[in-house]
Amino acid sequence: MAQFGSQEWVELLKTTVNKDKELPRAGKGFDATIHFVATGAKGGDIHFWTHMKDGAVLEAVSGEDRKCDFTLTGDYALWKEVVAGKQDPLQAIMTKKLLFEGNMQTVMKYIKAVNLVMESVKKVSTSWQ
């Protein structure tokens, strides 16, 4: 079990996502970096990013040291619900609980891949502050 947003956790996320057999087909043509931000955590905001290409996570890094194509920002408690499968991330975006920056048309084009990634996130053994 790894702490949400830690380097260990993002490496587990990368491994879990890359095990998905459907994702290479669903994510074919997608090449982007995604920055995730959890605000209001006890030790300060949590940042991590992933670089995905053709349905695979190529890099996963804890920290905010990269210009990204997309950014998802939400309260720490909301991320806990998303990871637990209690909050649909797309619904959270539509209701502005989860703030999205980037090209929504691209996300919608690859919606199956997005859903598969979110299913993988739920499989990562996660500890919380």
Antiparallel, parallel or unpaired: β 2-3 and 126-127:
parallel
**Position 126, amino acid:** T
Question: Would 38 be classed as within a structural domain?
Answer: yes
Quote the domain boundaries for residue 7: 2-120
Task: Report the relative pairing of strands 2-3 and 46-53 from DSSP bridges.
Answer: unpaired
The average confidence (pLDDT) of the chain is: 95
Residue 125 in any domain: the answer is: no
pLDDT above 90 coverage of the chain, percent: 93
93 within some domain? yes
- Residue 62: beta bridge partners? 48
Domain of 6, CATH number, reads 3.30.1050.10
Place of tokens 């209690």: 86
Place of tokens 């992933």: 50
Give the gyration radius of the chain's Cα atoms: 13
pLDDT band at 105 (very low <50, low <70, confident <90, very high): very high
Domains of the chain: total: 1
Whether the pLDDT of residue 6 is over 80: the answer is yes
- Grade residue 12 by pLDDT with cuts at 50, 70 and 90: very high
The three state secondary structure string of 104-120 is HHHHHHCHHHHHHHHHH
Asked if residue 129 belongs to a domain, the reply is no
pLDDT value at residue 37: 97
The tens digit of pLDDT for each residue in 31-87 reads: 999 999 999 999 999 999 999 999 999 999 999 877 899 999 999 999 999 999 999
